[in-house]
């Protein structure tokens, strides 16, 4: 399959996914497990059909910038419009060839404007967000979808475990497949009356449901199904939106002004230390302003029912994450004794209810076995590729017999973190072996390269 001007190289199963969408005229439920590239497959099909514009992409707020990034990096140049806020003001931009990106929370506020687009394609990412047919967002999306010919729903959540959550998406794609919600609920959701109302939270005849969906609208592959096609590790940068970008800009402007007055190439060790201190302040402002987006992303990930290992560098960051998920998380930081650390590891490895491991990248990044998950994410960055490589390897199963590793980097968009991740990636490509953990003070090339990118 040749897709004109599409930059990503598709794996065989991803090409099959694009063919599946094509063969069903763009009305599908793409339910691949997280990390297999549902976004890329969707964009590849959209690239096949440049005539099908405008496109509306509805996704969680934490994924809006990621959709923008993927569109820009993988497809030919096209207009992208990101819609924000609950109070549309001014003239609505009507671009007939554009892709519009909006989050579920504000769809109702923009409903009239979205209808004016006369969109050709509607993409619902993490479509279980419309699982409740009575919510305002679900009703608004149903009204918008009535006038759209092609509807692509994306969800990595195990559908056969919670059949009720996917009904609305299925009914948008093919309303004739299950025309009656109540009949569907009785057949597949174990519908029972508890004396106060109907309970649809069960799961019955799931094998039959799976066969019916696969034979009609759904394509679902697990990582284990396509393991031979996957690399040992897949690293993905996920841009995070800042709560207060103006605060970051003020601090960044002050730092760059100071930096231009210095000569980083001739800096003495004391001056270098001051530079590092100022960089650290800038990083902390970025981290503080992306934490809400990071926690939203982690929450979205945990809906897949998989476990996750999260790495950070500061205690306040790990504590913020633990506080957001107190009942399902464990931590491992410097200062904990050996017994405490082992208890955290054992709980994560053996307790199904403990689904989140939050660790300091230095204290938890070496010597631990955290293979209850094959997915990790970095909320903060260290200074050498080796730190990250070793941390990623905590979830790596030797020999790739069971799984491959997905490493997600949650990067504050438009901040110093962009430059750091780019430099780390360049350095990783140059080095053949894992670094020995030198500090930034000893690694002048890394610091000087970073300062040059900031001044430019």
pLDDT digits (tens, 9 = 90+) for 380-420: 998 888 888 888 988 876 544 557 899 999 999 999 999 99
Secondary structure of residue 168 in the 3-state scheme: helix
Give Cα 384 to chain centroid, integer Å.
Answer: 23
Q: Tell me how far apart the alpha carbons of residues 253 and 230 are, in angstroms, rounded to a whole number.
A: 42
Query: What domains sit in the chain, N to C, each tagged with a CATH number?
Result: 12-229 (3.40.50.10810), 233-455 (3.40.50.300)
Half-sphere exposure of residue 366, counting CA atoms within 13 Å on the CB side?
8
d(CA 160, CA 212) in angstroms, rounded, equals 11
What pLDDT, on a 0 to 100 scale, did the predictor assign at position 18? 97
Residue ranges in the chain modelled with pLDDT below 70: 1, 158, 160, 263-271, 397-402, 430-449, 451-456
Distant-in-sequence, close-in-space partners of 415: CB < 8 Å, separation ≥ 6: 242, 248, 252, 282, 286
| 3-class SS string, 234-279 | EEEEEEECCCCHHHHHHHHHHHHHHHHCCCHHHCCHHHHHHHHHHH
* In contact, 186 and 163? CB cutoff 8 Å: no
Q: How far is CA 75 from the centre of its chain?
A: 19
Give the pair of three-digit tokens for residue 212: 């019916």
Q: Can you give the pLDDT at residue 441?
A: 40
Q: Mark 206-239 as b/e (b = at least 16 C-beta within 10 Å).
A: beebbebbeebbbbbbebeebeeebeebebebbb
Please tell me the distance from the alpha carbon of residue 136 to that of residue 38, in angstroms, as a whole number.
26
**Positive or negative, the Cα torsion across 127, 128, 133, 139?**
negative
Helix (H) or strand (E) holding 326: none
Closest listed residue to residue 351, CA positions, set 329, 323, 368, 318:
329
pLDDT of res. 438: 45
The pLDDT, as a whole number, for residue 265 is 57
User: Is there a contact between 54 and 100 (Cβ–Cβ < 8 Å)?
Assistant: yes
- Coil, helix or strand at residue 151: strand
CA distances from 21 to 9, 99, 156 (A): 18, 18, 16
């Amino acid at each position: 399959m040749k897709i004109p001007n599409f930059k990503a190289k598709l794996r065989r199963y991803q090409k099959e996914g694009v063919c599946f969408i094509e063969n069903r005229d763009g009305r599908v439920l793409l339910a691949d497990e997280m990390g297999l590239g549902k976004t890329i497959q969707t964009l590849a099909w959209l690239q096949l059909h440049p005539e099908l514009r405008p496109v509306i992409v509805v996704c969680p707020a934490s994924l809006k910038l990621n959709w923008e990034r993927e569109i820009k990096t993988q497809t030919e140049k096209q207009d992208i419009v990101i819609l924000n806020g609950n109070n549309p003001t001014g003239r609505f931009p009507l671009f007939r060839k554009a892709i519009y990106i909006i989050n579920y929370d504000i769809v109702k506020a923009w409903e009239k404007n979205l209808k004016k687009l006369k969109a050709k394609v509607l993409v619902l990412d993490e479509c279980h967000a419309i699982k409740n047919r009575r919510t305002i967002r679900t009703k608004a999306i149903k009204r918008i979808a009535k006038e759209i010919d092609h509807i692509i729903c994306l969800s990595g959540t195990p559908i056969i475990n919670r059949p009720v959550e996917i009904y609305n998406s299925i009914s948008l794609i093919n309303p004739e497949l299950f025309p009656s919600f109540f009949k569907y609920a009785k057949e597949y959701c174990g519908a029972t009356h508890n004396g106060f109302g109907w309970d649809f939270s069960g799961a019955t005849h799931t094998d039959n449901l799976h066969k019916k969906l696969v034979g009609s609208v759904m394509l679902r592959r697990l990582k284990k199904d396509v393991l031979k096609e996957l690399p040992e590790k897949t690293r993905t940068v996920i841009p995070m939106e800042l709560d207060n970008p103006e605060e970051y800009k003020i601090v960044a402007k002050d730092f760059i002004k100071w930096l231009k007055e210095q000569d980083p190439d001739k800096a003495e060790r004391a001056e270098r230390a001051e530079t590092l201190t100022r960089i650290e302040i800038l990083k902390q402002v970025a981290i503080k302003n992306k934490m809400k987006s990071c926690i939203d992303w982690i929450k979205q990930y945990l809906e897949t029912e998989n476990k996750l290992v999260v790495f950070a560098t500061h205690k306040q960051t790990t504590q913020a994450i633990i506080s957001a998920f107190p009942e399902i998380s464990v931590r491992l930081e410097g200062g904990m004794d050996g017994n405490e650390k082992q208890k955290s590891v054992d709980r994560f490895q053996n307790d199904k209810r403990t689904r989140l491991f939050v660790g300091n990248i230095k204290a938890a990044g070496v010597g631990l076995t955290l293979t209850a998950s094959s997915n990790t994410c970095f909320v903060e960055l260290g200074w050498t590729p080796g730190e990250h490589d070793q941390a990623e390897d905590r979830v790596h199963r030797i020999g790739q017999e069971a799984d491959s590793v997905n490493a997600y980097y949650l990067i504050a968009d438009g901040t110093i973190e962009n430059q750091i991740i780019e430099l780390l990636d360049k350095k990783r490509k140059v080095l053949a072996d894992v670094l020995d953990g030198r500090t930034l003070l000893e690694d002048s090339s890394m610091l000087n390269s970073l300062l040059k990118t900031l001044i430019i």
